[in-house]
Chains A and B, each alone.
Chain A
Amino acid sequence: MVISAQPAQADPPTDAAWAVLAGVLDPEVPALSVVDLGIVRDVGRTADGVLDIVLTPTYSGCPATEAIEADIRAALAAAGLGPARIAYRLAPPWTSDWISDEGRRKLADYGIVPPPEAGTAVIRLHPRKLACPRCQSRNTERLSAFGSTACKSLHRCVDCREPFEHFKPI
Chain B
Amino acid sequence: MTASIALKPSPDVAYVLRIADTCLIHAQRLAEWCGHAPVLEEDIALANLGLDLLGQSRALLTHAARLEGSGFDEDQLAFLRDERDYVNLTLVELPLRRGGADFADTQWRCLVVASWLLPLWQGLQASRDSELAAIAAKAAKETRYHFEHAADWVVRLGDGSEESMRRMRAAIERAAPYIAELFDDDEVDAAAAQSQLGPRSSALRDAWLARLQRVLADARLALPAQGAFRSHGKRGLHSEHMGLLLAEMQVLQRAFPGGVW
Against B, the Cβ 8 Å flags (1 = close, 0 = not) of A51-86 are 000000001111100000000000000000000000
Total interface residues in chain A, CB < 8 Å: 24
Which residue of A has the minimal Cβ distance to B131? A90
Kindly state the separation between the CA atoms of A98 and B174 in the bound complex, as whole angstroms: 43
- B129 contacts chain A at the CB level, 8 A cutoff: no
Q: A91–B137 Cα gap in the complex (Å)?
A: 8
Tell me which of A143, A150, A168 contacts B52 (CB under 8 A): A150
Main secondary structure of the interface of B (DSSP, over half): helix
Q: Identify which of residues 44-72 in chain B touch chain A, using a CB-to-CB cut-off of 8 Å.
A: 44-45, 48-56, 58-59
Which B residues are in CB contact (< 8 Å) with A148?
44
Question: In the complex, which residues 92-136 of chain B have their Cβ closer than 8 Å to any Cβ of chain A?
Answer: 130-131, 133-135
User: What 0/1 pattern do residues 127 to 167 of B give for CB contact below 8 A with A?
Assistant: 00011011101110110110011001000000000000000
- Residue A134, interface by CB 8 Å: no
List which A114-160 residues lie within 8 A (CB) of chain B: 125-126, 143-150, 154
Interface range, B side: 20 to 34
Known contacts A91-B133, A147-B44, A170-B142, A63 near B149 by CB under 8 Å? no
Identify which of A62, A144, A147, A170 contacts B55 (C-beta below 8 A).
A62
A93 within 8 Å of B by Cβ? Answer: yes
A149 touches B52 (CB 8 A): no
Q: A90-B59, A90-B134 are in contact. Are A150 and B41 (CB under 8 A)?
A: no
B32 at the A interface (CB under 8 A): no
Q: Does B51 contact A61, Cβ atoms closer than 8 Å?
A: yes
Shortest distance in angstroms between A157's beta carbon and chain B's nearest beta carbon?
A: 16
Q: Does A92 contact B (CB under 8 A)?
A: yes
Question: Cβ of A93 and Cβ of B141 under 8 Å apart?
Answer: yes
A residues within 8 A CB of B41?
Answer: 143-144, 146-147, 154
Select from chain B the residue with minimum beta-carbon distance to A149. Answer: B48
B141: chain A residues within 8 A (beta carbon): 93, 95, 170
Docked-complex contact B52 and A125, CB < 8 angstroms: no
Give the CA-CA distance A19 to B186 in the complex, in Å. 54
Question: Which residue of B is nearest A63, CB measured?
Answer: B51
Closest CB in chain B relative to A33 CB, distance in Å: 22
**B181 on the interface (CB 8 Å rule)?**
no
Residues of A within 8 A of B (CB): 59-63, 90-95, 125-126, 143-150, 154, 168, 170
Q: Which 9 A/B pairs are nearest by Cβ-Cβ distance?
A: A60-B55, A61-B55, A61-B51, A146-B45, A91-B134, A93-B138, A90-B134, A145-B149, A150-B48
23 residue pairs bridging A and B, Cβ less than 8 Å apart: A59-B51, A60-B58, A60-B59, A61-B56, A62-B55, A63-B51, A90-B138, A91-B130, A91-B137, A93-B134, A93-B137, A93-B138, A126-B148, A144-B42, A144-B45, A144-B152, A146-B41, A146-B45, A146-B49, A146-B145, A148-B44, A150-B52, A170-B142
